Structure 1
Amino acid sequence: MSADASPFTELTGSARHAALAELAARGPLHRTTLFTGVPVWLVTGHDEVRALMADPTVVKPPAPAPHSDRLPAELDAAMNHNMLLRNPPDHTRLRKLVSAAFTRRRIDELAPRIRELTAELLDDLARAGAGGQPADLVSLFGYPLPMTVICELVGVPDDRRHAFRQWSGVLINGTVHPAEEYIAAASAMVQCIRELVEEKRAAPADDLLSGLVLAQDGDDRLTDDEITSTIVLLLTAGHETTVSLLTIGVHTLLTHPRQLGLLRSQPERIADAVEEILRFDGPGQAPVPAITAEPVEVAGVTIPAGEVIVPALLAANRDPRRYAEPDEFDITRSGSPHVAFGHGIHHCLGAPLARLEARIALEALLARFPRLRLARPDEEPARPPGLLLNTIPALPVLID
C-alpha cells in the first residue's frame, strides 16, 4: 500500500503502463488521489480486481456522474438510469430487459454489414494514402466503422451521427471537460434521443432502439429515463471503446513486427490476436468507480465502508502473478482470461460486438495493405488524460 499520484494523466502508453507497473510492483492495493481530487483505493492485482468486481458489497454509488453537483435533476435521471450505474435488484431487472433487445442474434446478423462497411472504409483509406501520403487511421477507419455500426444497430439516422460523435466524446471523459461543456453535450444528446424514441414508438423498425421501446418482462417495461440512459451508454461506451480497440490494436501490431508477421502468415489466429490486444493494451483503463457498502478485506488490508474503489484494468491485465512475461505482446498466449471487459454482473454487454468488429476489421486491414506501417515510427502517440478510456486520438499510417 502506498500514497502516489494518479497514473491516469500519463500522456503516452509506455508512461501510463510504467506508472501502473511501478505501483503494482509494491503490491496489489494503493491509497491514492485521482486527478479529480478524490481519494480512492486503486487496485492493481488481477485476482484482487476480479474478486472486487464480483463482490456484492462493492456497489455503484448513487451519484457517480461527472459534474453531478451541477447537473439538473431531470437531465441526471435521463442519463444515469442505466444498468452500469445500478445495483441488484435494479441492475438485474434492467440487464434482463436490455438483453432482450440486445440479443446475440442481432449482433451476429451484423457481420455481413460490418464486412461491407470495412471494405468501403478501406477504399477511403487507400485513396487518402495514395502516393505515399500519410493517412490517419482513426478518422478514416478506426472511428467511422464502430460509429456507423452502433448507430445502425441503435437506429440513429445518418444526419445525426456526426453530432452524436461530438457529444459522446465529451460525455465519455466528462471529468476533464468544464461543467458547462458537459451539460450542454448531455442536454443535446438526451433531447435527440427523446425525439428518436417518439419516432420509434410511432413507427417501430428492426433496430435496437425500437427493441428497447418494446422490451418487456410480463408487465415490466423500461421507463423513458431508462431508455434514454441505456442509449446514452451504448452510443458512448458502445463505440468509443471499439475505436480504441481498433486503433491501439493496429499500433500494437505495427510496433511488434514479429507478432504481426506471425498473424499475417497465420490469419486464423485473429481471434487470439484480438484477445491479446485486449490484455496487453486494452481500451479501458478503469470501470466506473464503485464504493464499499461494507468493510472489505483486500490484500490483508481492511477497507472501511464508504470508500471509493478503482480497479486498474490495465495493471490487472499485466499482473506478473497471473501472466508469464506480462509486458510481452504474444498472440500465441494462452491461459488466464483478461479483465478488459470487466467481470461480474457488470461485464460489458457489448463485448461480443466489439470482438466481432475487431476480428473483421483487423483481418481485412492487414490483408488489404501488406505494407501497412506507421508514418511516424519514432514517435509514440500521445493519449489523452482521463479515468475510463485508454485511447489514441490520431494514428498516421503509410499504406504503400
Structure 2
Amino acid sequence: MANTSRFPLHESVFNGNLRQVSALLRSHDVTEKDIHGNTPLHLAVILGHKECVHLLLAHGAPVKVKNAQGWTPLAEAISYGERQTITSLLRKLKQQSRESLEDKRPQLIQALRDLGDFYLELKWDFQSWVPLVSRMLPSDICKVHKKGSCIRVDSTLVDFNDMKWQRGDLTFIFNGDARQSKSLVVIDNELKVYQWIRPDDNESEIEDEVDILMSSDIVTATMSTKPITFTRAQSGWLFREDKSEMVGPFSADFYIVNGMMIESRKRREHLTDEDVQKNKAVMDSFSKGTVVEGSIESHRRTSLPPPVQNGVSWENYINAPPKHPPVLGRQILYKESRKGVKATVAMSDEFPLTVEELLNVLEVITPFKHFNKLREFVEMKLPTGFPVKIDIPVLPTITARITFQEFQNDFEIPSSLFYTPRNYKEDPNRFPDL
C-alpha cells in the first residue's frame, strides 16, 4: 500500500477541502505530480472542484503540463464540460505563455543583435498524395529581412483555418527595441491596414475559442523524434552513391529520416452525436478536395451535466497501479493512432547560419502558424550542417517542402523596412486569431 499522506496537497484537493488546500499552498509545490502524473490542478478539474481550481490558478498552477496519460488540465476541463472552468484555464494558459515568452525576451533580443544582418528566402511547396487536395495546395516564397534586433517577414501564405488556405500580402515586423505593446505588428498590404499584436486577449475571442473546444475532439498530436535515425539518401540506377546536389547556391548532402512517427490521440466523451457527425463531414469533405462551409452557431455552448460520481476514494486512487488511475470523471471515449511519416532533409556546411541562430529567428515569428512544424523539425538532433531543404508532414495527407534558396549578408538593409507605412491605418480587428 502506498503512503496516502505522501501527497497532502493532492489529497486535500481530491477531497475538496478548500481551507486545507489554502494552508498547504504556503509550503507545498503546486507543480508536483503524483504517481499518476497528475498535478493538484488536474485533480481539481477532473473532480469538478471549482473553488480549488480557481485557488490553484491564483497560485500559478501550470495549465500546459501533461499527466501520465498525456492530458493537460485544459483537456480534462473540456471533458468535464463546465464552461466557466474551461474559460478560466484557457485565459490562464494564454497568460502563462505570454509570461514565459517575456522571460526569454532579453536573451532572445541579445541573440538577434549578436547575429549579423541578412536577407533570407524560404520557399514553401505543399504537396499531397490525394490528387484533388494537391491542386488546392499553395506555394509561397517567404522573405525574411533581419537588422539589429528587428525582423521583417513578407508572406503571401497567411494561415490554414477551417480547412482552407488563406492567401494575402502580409508583412510581419518584430522590433526588439520597442516596448512590448508595440514590438509586434502585422500589416495587410492589400487593405493598407495594420494590427498590433498585443498581450491582452479580446473577451469575445476567448469565448469563441471555448465554443470550438467544447464542440471538437480533444486532440493531442506529437511528432515522435526519439527513435529516429538519419541515413544517406542514394542516387543513380546501376551505380548507387550518396546523393549530393546543389540547393540554390549551396552544396548539400541528402538524408532520409527513419523512424519518425506522428502519434495522435483523441477523446470525444464530451461531444453529442450531432457534433461527431458534423466534424466527420468537414474532415471527409477536405480529404476529397472539397470544402463544406460550416454553419456558425450564434449561441454559446452551455455546460454539460457533471459526470456521475463513481465513489472512488483517495485511498483507491493513490493505491492504484502507477500511471493507471481509476476513472474519476466522465467515462473516456478514446482513440489512438500512430503513423510512420516520411521525411527527408538536405544538410549543407556552406550555409552562413547555424541551426541555433535559425531557432532564435523562428522564436520571434511564431505567430505565423505554418512555421511551428519547421521549428519542431529543426529542434531535432540533425546531421552536421544547416537544413537547406526539408520535406516534413504538416497534416496526415499533406507534406511541406521548405527550401532555403537564398541568403545575402553583404549589403546594407534599409531601416525603413521595419516601419509601418504612414498611409496605412490601424485596424485592431483585422487578424482575430492573433
Alignment TM-score, normalising by the size of structure 1 = 0.26
Greater share of strand residues, 1 or 2?
A: 2
User: Larger relative contact order (C-alpha < 8 A, sep ≥ 6)?
Assistant: 1
Please tell me whether Structure 1 or Structure 2 has the larger radius of gyration of its CA atoms.
2
Alignment TM-score, normalising by the size of structure 2 = 0.24
